[in-house]
């Protein structure tokens, strides 16, 4: 059963390596239960505390979860396919009260929901750079947490220069059937290109709380900044995408 | 100095919260040294071990690094701008012995290098799916670790169906000036579109070793699969991008 029986490797590392190999090779699959601590301790001829130390490494790596009192299980990774390019495609004709996220999730037979709030916030350096305003200037933040079957899936916070949107539906924390891009267009600020930037990091304590993240779950931070034909940035959306729930997909054609 | 002085919060968490806030607000900047453990212990009225526990949280989150015996420093995040779309653009006319990666890094005044090896490997489930072969079938892996100023920056492993490339320059572990895409095209397998898939996870022990990753450093796994006009996948490149060294960037135009 041991994948790396080199005698100089500490026992807890050998235990971790063994189960890591079984998981990455697919012999143990998502949702499978690992043998009990007692069984593993007997097989390796070590104390249960040593088994616990070994398995805790795999929890930190995001490979398994501990569900007391049942034991350890291979973590499920059910990915939502996340397509930034969809935003810049014509909106499909579908039920009026559903945005693209809700359409996609409903089409998969799952139940989408979201919580929207609108706040006035001071632009930090990251937003100020992207919206070309001074740091500390007030911007409008339209914040959403999105849920699938009641579980939080991601955070989607759109930011707008205050003077552009202060008289518009964007200020109301309600769902906007035509979409905020159309609101901006109706105000004379139609977007015609966007830049997607993706950064990878560990989550902040606030993100862990808002998204109920388990140990060993990094996030992608996706900045999506929309520009008018004149080159003015009019929207900056910050998406926080937990790594255990998303696959980001782009398609591209070869240019010659 | 304390950001969250709520009395019921354990002292090590208050210490972590204080420095986390100073770092995320920008008051402490990349490369800045934190006060000594002794100084922090005095300010919070706690034991040095408590300070160490608090700071170790921030190490795990990837916010600071410990450099013994000097102390703790705010981690530097020098990002390489990583642009998947560049691959499908005409290759710029520049020094012949440089690929796009090397051109970009040299243009930034830094020293690029890479190590190439060619291996015959059995396709795992991920590659088999993408190249549409049976799992376990032999494919050609052209593996690169790329370096900037001698430090490893990312892993770039391209995979090809064996029967397509077995007589070609792709089998030789040497730099190919015209590029592997052109080799494929010359063999009659010109790519005209690609799908980019990006997954986020903690690194494997092998990746930690090959890329010299520090604690709290997640990676993006970027699968770039190239298709011919006939819809056949002829290449699948797996890029491992450490989160502390990359920003992934796409540009897109609105379609109407």
User: Does residue B55 lie in a domain region?
Assistant: yes
Res A6: pLDDT = 55
Cβ distance A247 to B85 less than 8 Å, yes or no, reads no
pLDDT computed for residue A81 by the predictor: 84
Query: Do residue A142 and residue A101 come from a single domain?
Result: yes
Best residue in A219, A252, A255, A256 to probe B by mutation, most B CBs within 10 Å?
A: A252
B233 and B113 within one domain: yes
Say if residue A84 is in the same domain as residue A70.
no
Least confident of B4-8, B101-105, B187-191, B240-244: B4-8
Percent of chain B with pLDDT over 90: 54
A253 touches chain B (CB under 8 A): yes
Whether A33 and A109 share a structural domain = no
Chain-chain contact of B193 with A251 (C-beta, under 8 angstroms): yes
- With cut-offs at 50, 70 and 90, classify the pLDDT of residue B236: very high
The size of chain B, in residues, is 256
Tokens of A111: 């139940």
The per-residue pLDDT for A254 is: 78
- Average pLDDT for chain A: 87
pLDDT in tens, B77-116: 667 888 888 877 766 555 555 677 888 788 778 888 888 9
A vs B: CB pairs below 8 A? 131
- A140, A238: one domain: yes
Flag whether pLDDT at B228 surpasses 60. yes
Is B97 a domain residue? yes
Q: Are residues A55 and A99 in the same domain?
A: no
**Same-domain status, A145 and A241:** yes
Instruction: Kindly state whether residue A193 falls inside one of the protein's structural domains.
Output: yes
Pair (B135, B211) in one structural domain: yes
CATH number for the domain spanning B54: value is 1.10.10.10
Span of A14-28, A192-206, A219-233 with lowest mean pLDDT: A14-28
pLDDT value, residue B2 = 43
More confident residue, A143 or B91: A143
Which residue, of A74, A96, A125, is where some domain finishes? A74
Residues B149 and B22 in one domain: no
Of the candidates B245, B196, B252, the one whose C-alpha atom is nearest the C-alpha of residue B221 is B196
Give yes or no: residues A69 and A92 share one domain: no
Cα angle value A37/A43/A45 (rounded, 5°): 90
Helix (H, G, I), strand (E, B) or coil at B241: strand
Write down which residue in A56, A74, A92 finishes a domain: A74
- What's the complex ipTM? 0.81
- Residue given tokens 């899936």 in the structure block: A153
Q: What is the pLDDT of residue A215?
A: 85
Residues B133 and B228 in one domain: yes
**Percent of chain A with pLDDT strictly greater than 90:** 54
What pLDDT is attached to residue A43?
95
Does B68 contact chain A (CB < 8 Å)?
Answer: no
- Residue in chain B closest to A13 (alpha carbons) equals B205
Using CA atoms in the order A183, A189, A193, A197, what is the torsion angle rounded to 10 degrees?
-70
Share of chain A above pLDDT 70, in %: 92
Please report whether residue B254 resides in a domain. Answer: no
- Interface residue B30 vs chain A (CB under 8 A): no
Q: pLDDT tens digit string along A150-189?
A: 888 999 999 999 999 999 999 999 888 888 999 999 999 9
pLDDT score, position B86: 82
pLDDT of B198 over the 70 cut: yes
**Nearest C-alpha of chain B: how many angstroms from A107?**
21
Sign of the dihedral defined by the CA atoms of residues B221, B226, B231, B232, in that order: negative
Tell me how close the Cα of A229 comes to any Cα of chain B, in angstroms: 10
CATH code, domain with B118: 3.40.1410.10
Could you read off the pLDDT of A189-219 as tens digits, one per residue?
A: 999 999 999 999 999 888 999 899 988 899 9
Q: Does B17 touch chain A (CB under 8 A)?
A: yes
pLDDT at B46: 95
The answer as to whether B43 is a domain residue is yes
Q: Average pLDDT over chain B, rounded to whole?
A: 87
Mean pLDDT calculated for residue range A60-77:
85
State how far the Cα of A138 lies from the Cα of A121, in Å rounded to an integer: 5
Higher per-residue confidence, A123 vs B3: A123
Q: Is residue B5 part of a domain?
A: no
> Which of A17, A61, A193 is nearest residue B202 as measured by Cβ atoms?
A61
Report yes or no on B243 lying in a domain: yes
Report pLDDT for A1.
43
Q: For residue B193, what is the nearest residue in chain A, using CA coordinates?
A: A253
Number of domain units in chain B: 2
pLDDT at A132 over 80: yes
Higher-confidence position of B169 and B89 = B169
Is the separation of the CB atoms in B133 and B139 below 8 Å? yes
User: Considering the domain boundaries, does residue B256 fall inside one?
Assistant: no
Q: What is the pLDDT of residue B76?
A: 77
Distance from CA of B119 to the nearest CA of A (A): 19
Query: Which stretch of A30-34, A101-105, A118-122, B158-162 has the lowest confidence by average pLDDT?
Result: A101-105
Q: Check pLDDT > 80 for residue A8.
A: no
Please indicate, yes or no, whether residues B89 and B27 belong to a single structural domain of this protein. no
Which chain A residues are closer than 8 Å to B61 by Cβ? 202, 204
| Domain residue limits at B70 | 11-74
Q: Which of A74, A100, A124 is the last residue of a domain?
A: A74
3-state SS of chain A is CCCCCCCCCCHHHHHHHHHHHHHHCCCCCCCCECCCHHHHHHHHCCCHHHHHHHHHHHHHCCCEEEECCCEEEECCCCCEEECHHHHHCCCCCCCCCCCHHHHHHHHCCCCEEEEEEEEEEECCHHHHHHHCCCCCCEEEEEEEEEEECCEEEEEEEEEEEHHHHCCCHHHCCCCCCCCHHHHHHHCCCCEEEEEEEEEEECCCHHHHHHHCCCCCCCEEEEEEEEEECCCCEEEEEEEEEECCCEEEEEEEECCC
- Residues 157-196 on A with a CB inside 8 Å of B are 191-196
Q: Which pLDDT tens digit goes with each residue over B114-166?
A: 889 999 999 988 899 999 999 899 999 999 999 988 888 999 999 999 999 99
Q: What is the pLDDT of residue A4?
A: 46
């Amino acid at each position: 059963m041991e994948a790396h029986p080199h005698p100089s490797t500490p026992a807890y590392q050998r235990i971790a390596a063994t189960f890591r190999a079984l998981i990455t090779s697919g012999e143990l699959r998502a949702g499978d239960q690992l043998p009990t601590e007692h069984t593993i301790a007997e097989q390796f001829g070590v104390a249960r505390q040593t088994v616990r130390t070994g398995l805790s490494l795999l929890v930190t790596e995001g490979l398994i979860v501990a569900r007391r009192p049942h034991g350890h299980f291979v973590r499920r990774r059910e990915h939502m396919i996340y397509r930034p390019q969809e935003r810049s495609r014509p909106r499909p004709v579908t039920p009026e009260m559903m945005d693209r996220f809700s359409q996609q999730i409903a089409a998969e037979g799952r139940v989408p929901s979201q919580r929207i709030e609108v706040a006035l916030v001071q632009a930090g350096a990251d937003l100020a750079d992207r919206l070309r305003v001074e740091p500390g200037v007030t911007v409008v933040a339209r914040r959403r947490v999105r849920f699938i079957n009641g579980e939080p899936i991601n955070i989607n916070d759109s930011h707008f220069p205050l003077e552009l949107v202060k008289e518009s539906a964007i200020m109301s924390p309600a769902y906007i059937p035509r979409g905020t891009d159309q609101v901006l267009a109706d105000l004379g600020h139609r977007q015609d290109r966007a830049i997607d930037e993706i950064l990878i990091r560990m989550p902040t304590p606030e993100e862990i709380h808002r998204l109920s993240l388990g140990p060993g779950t990094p996030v992608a931070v996706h900045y999506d900044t929309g520009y008018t034909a004149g080159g003015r940035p009019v929207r900056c959306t910050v998406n926080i995408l937990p790594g255990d729930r998303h696959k980001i997909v782009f398609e591209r054609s070869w240019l010659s």
